[in-house]
Amino acid sequence: MKKKFKLEDLDCANCAAKMEEAIKKIPGVNDASVSFMTQKMTINAEDEQFDEIMQKVVNACAKVEPDCKILM
């Protein structure tokens, strides 16, 4: 399943790259991209675990950029 999410308060391209790297390490994630320019994130992950994976994505992003919100 591939889904796009809008991001709010992502401060820099470096943080976006770190978030993307952290998300790609989560088991069940097939691919991920985080764009600072568009303030969007795309996640491609296993369908049956998507909600569980998204909780891990939220936690991983909060560690890199605590002020950034993922609008679901």
Domain spans of the chain, in order of start: 2-71
Look up the pTM and report it.
Answer: 0.93
Mean pLDDT score of the chain: 96
Mean of the pLDDT values across residues 44-50? 96
CATH number of 2-71: 3.30.70.100
First to last CA, the chain: 15
Mean of the pLDDT values across residues 47-62? 96
The pLDDT, as a whole number, for residue 72 is 86
User: Other C-beta atoms within 10 Å of 7: how many?
Assistant: 20
